[in-house]
């Protein structure tokens, strides 16, 4: 290339070349989207994106999300070219074991990747959460003359993202909330895996987003000037999120395959790549980027300058608002206030001193009343069930009414809510919670899984936890959902039996920074359980002995949630008949299993093989605790419509049945 000026097309072609080469070397991947969106990416990243490759975690950076994550070589190429710690060798290891360039972008693997994408539409919903977090945090901390939180959230989406139902949920809410710093760029190439989309996707996308209250723009996705003008216009509207519909050709440059599904999910092939190089005027060998193009892309100096300027602004802010600055830094770092643990423990003791019969959903609301005033970073809401999930507390302020608020009315959008909550967590500065009925976590299942995959601190409040929910019938009565949550890696699940265990569970969820926590709560009132000080301390270990006998027990009964009280009565009755029985309250199986072997053995001694597990949920999960010689009182069919107490009796969740089954095991 020599001294020849580097053109925009040269820079875009670098993305195309790296993308097709990496996919070809891996013999796997999607070259079409990166090749089609290369021109858009070049304009956005070289002219608009504010970021620092030298510090991917700089807090005030613009966020970029590739929601159509199958096109992962697009973001890997961008990160490599702009100067992130992603080498050409990393690109050559695309889709290989333990590489920094997995098949879909994964948070935590690759510097500069803001969220894990691949399940279509969820990256877009995460971006809504990020934009919501940015605006709310800005309202809480920015002051006149001191704009400390101020960045955009950019999202690339494809046809698949916009076909997914979650895109409707998230984008509808984004328009209602007026998230003006959210900018979506739609790769309108008319192609999905099955071919030309007009047979299955004929929506008028512009009218759809206009109806949401978005600013709707368009551009030729291969015209750099049009793309730039559209981005300027999108950034200028602070009241509405924007979508820029960009007409593109998928796989642009591949002479025999561009514009077709053949570029979507497979390598182009050696011959087609050779022809593509000729058509693009790219004479360089595979994975070779000429030095002038490298220099044209390098954003390290600009990024360092941007972060340095922000740090200077932060120093000036700190001088005028020292307490606010300290609070902002604490929240950015994800640290809890120093007084939180002491006051949380005090609240737990207060709960233990109470004798109130209480639904654990109400106990959960009491936890919010106690903990949220200590934690201004707590933000959350419910999917149109605030009065049932009891997620509102006295200090709740809807962000729809006040920009610096802390409560989100999500509407009936369980899937969108859960993915938005992950986006808030990924952004930083907040601890998000979201709520719905346990049965409707199924709507949000994949978003909950993605939160676990990314190890994000998101608190999932699930109420109406069993057939005890009552008259609404089997459509609203969860059976298999607890098992689904418990077998999800990185997911912590708590099913408390009273207000005390609920308070411990909430504290654990707030403290836990390496994944989401599901709090599974009852609709019906549950009796308070008396405990000793040592028992109170052991709740945080996930399971503990609530009632015991002298010496080694003949039988161990394990229970959770609403079933603990009937099992406690059963243990008392068995003891009166001179059976040696132990009751274990298993509030969190995953937390219990993380304890040391000595503690686990002290609670569930391996020498005691007579065991019964009792939970109003699927029984199979409990076999690992009771063994083949034990028994499980569970529910393995869908429920019925009747008052909760009648259903519990009908399905065998009674003291009498626990005694009967325990004796049969003995």
**Where in the sequence numbering do the catalytic residues fall?**
414
SS3 65: strand
SS (H, E, C) 69-111: HHHHHHHHHHHHHHCCCCCHHHHHCCCCCCCCCCCCCCCCCCC
Contacts (Cβ under 8 Å, ≥6 apart) of 296: 6, 10, 11, 46
**Of 218, 205, 125, 116, nearest in space to 159 by CA:** 205
What tokens were used for 653?
A: 């969740």
Task: Please say whether the beta carbons of 72 and 5 come within 8 A.
Answer: no
3-state helix, strand, coil in the chain (%, to 5): 50, 15, 40
Q: What is residue 47's DSSP assignment?
A: I
At 435, give phi and psi (nearest 5°): -145, 145
Residues 6 or more apart whose CB falls under 8 angstroms from that of 465 comprise 438, 478, 482, 495, 520, 521, 522, 523, 561, 562, 616
Spell out the residues 6+ positions from residue 523 whose beta carbon is closer than 8 angstroms to its own: 359, 361, 388, 463, 464, 465, 468, 469, 470, 644
Do residues 101 and 429 touch, judged by C-beta distance below 8 A? no
Separation CA 495–CA 487 (nearest Å): 15
Phi, psi of 154 (to 5 degrees): -105, 140
- CA-to-CA distance for 542 and 531, rounded, in angstroms? 15
Give CA–CA dist 478/639, Å, rounded. 8
Q: Is 299 exposed, middle or buried (0-12, 13-18, 19+ CB in 10 A)?
A: buried
Beta bridge partners of 173: none
* Max Cα distance, the chain (Å): 95
Token pair in block for residue 304: 């360092």
Give the C-alpha separation, 254 to 249, whole Å.
10
Cα pseudo-dihedral 380, 381, 382, 388, rounded to 10: 110
The CA distances from residue 533 to 302, 341, 384, 538, 539, in Å, are 58, 17, 39, 9, 10
- Its sign, for the CA torsion 382, 385, 391, 392, is positive
Going by their DSSP bridges, the two strands 525-526 and 543-547 should be labelled as unpaired
Both tokens of residue 134?
């940015």
Q: Identify whether the C-beta of residue 12 lies closer than 8 Å to the C-beta of residue 70.
A: no
């Amino acid at each position: 290339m020599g001294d020849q000026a580097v053109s925009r097309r040269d820079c875009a072609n670098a993305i195309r070349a790296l993308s097709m080469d990496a996919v070809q070397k891996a013999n796997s991947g999607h070259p079409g989207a990166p090749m089609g969106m290369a021109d858009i990416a070049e304009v956005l990243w070289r002219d608009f994106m504010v970021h620092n490759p030298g510090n991917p975690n700089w807090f005030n950076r613009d966020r970029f999300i590739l929601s159509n994550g199958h096109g992962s070589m697009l973001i890997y190429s961008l990160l490599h070219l702009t100067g992130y710690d992603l080498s050409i060798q990393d690109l050559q290891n695309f889709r290989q074991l333990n590489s920094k360039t997995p098949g879909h972008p994964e948070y935590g693997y690759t510097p500069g990747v803001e969220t894990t994408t691949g399940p279509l539409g969820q990256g877009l919903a995460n971006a809504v959460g990020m934009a919501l977090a940015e605006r709310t945090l800005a309202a809480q901390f920015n002051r006149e003359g001191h704009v400390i939180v101020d960045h955009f959230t950019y999202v690339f989406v494809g046809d698949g993202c916009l076909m997914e139902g979650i895109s409707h949920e998230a984008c509808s809410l984004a328009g209602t909330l007026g998230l003006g710093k959210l900018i979506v760029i739609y790769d309108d190439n008319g192609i999905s895996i099955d071919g030309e989309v007009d047979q299955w996707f004929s929506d008028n996308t512009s009218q759809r987003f206009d109806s949401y209250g978005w600013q709707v723009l368009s551009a030729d996705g291969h015209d750099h000037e049009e793309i730039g003008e559209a981005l300027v216009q999108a950034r200028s509207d602070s009241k509405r999120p924007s979508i820029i519909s960009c007409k593109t050709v998928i796989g642009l440059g591949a002479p025999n395959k561009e514009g077709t599904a053949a570029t979507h999910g497979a390598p182009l092939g050696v011959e087609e790549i050779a022809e593509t190089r000729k058509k693009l005027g790219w004479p360089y060998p595979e994975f070779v980027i000429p030095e002038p193009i490298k220099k044209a892309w390098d954003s390290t100096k600009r990024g360092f300058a941007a972060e340095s300027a922000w740090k200077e602004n932060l120093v000036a802010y700190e001088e005028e608002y020292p307490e606010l600055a300290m609070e902002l830094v604490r929240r950015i770092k994800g640290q809890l206030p120093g007084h939180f643990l002491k006051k949380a423990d005090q609240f737990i003791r207060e709960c233990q001193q109470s004798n109130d019969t209480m639904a654990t959903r109400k106990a959960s609301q009491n936890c919010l009343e106690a903990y949220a005033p200590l934690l201004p970073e707590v933000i959350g809401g419910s999917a149109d069930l605030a009065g049932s999930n009891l997620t509102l507390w006295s200090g709740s302020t809807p962000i729809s009414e006040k920009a610096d608020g802390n409560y989100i009315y999500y509407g009936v959008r369980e899937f969108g809510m859960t993915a938005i909550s992950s986006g808030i967590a990924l952004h930083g500065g907040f601890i998000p919670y979201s709520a719905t009925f346990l049965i409707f976590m199924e709507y949000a299942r994949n978003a909950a899984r993605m939160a676990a995959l990314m190890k994000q601190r998101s608190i999932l409040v699930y109420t109406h936890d069993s057939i005890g929910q009552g008259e609404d019938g089997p459509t609203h009565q969860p059976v298999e959902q607890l098992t689904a949550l418990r077998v999800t890696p990185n997911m912590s699940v708590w099913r408390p039996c009273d207000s005390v265990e609920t308070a411990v569970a909430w504290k654990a969820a707030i403290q836990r920074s390496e994944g989401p926590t599901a709090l599974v709560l009852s609709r019906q009132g549950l009796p308070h359980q008396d405990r000793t000080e040592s028992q109170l301390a052991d709740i945080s270990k996930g399971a503990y002995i609530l009632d015991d006998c002298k010496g080694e027990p003949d039988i161990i009964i394990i229970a959770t949630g609403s079933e603990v009280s009937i099992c406690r009565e059963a243990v008392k009755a068995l003891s009166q008949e001179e059976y040696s029985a132990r009751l274990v309250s298993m509030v969190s199986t995953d937390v219990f299993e993380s304890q040391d072997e000595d503690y686990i053995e002290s609670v569930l001694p391996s020498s005691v093989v007579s065991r019964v597990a009792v939970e109003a949920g699927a029984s199979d999960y409990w076999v690992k605790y009771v063994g083949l010689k034990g028994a499980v009182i569970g529910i393995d069919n869908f429920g019925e419509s009747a008052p909760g107490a009648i259903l519990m009796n009908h399905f065998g969740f009674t003291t009498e049945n626990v005694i009967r089954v325990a004796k049969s095991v003995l």
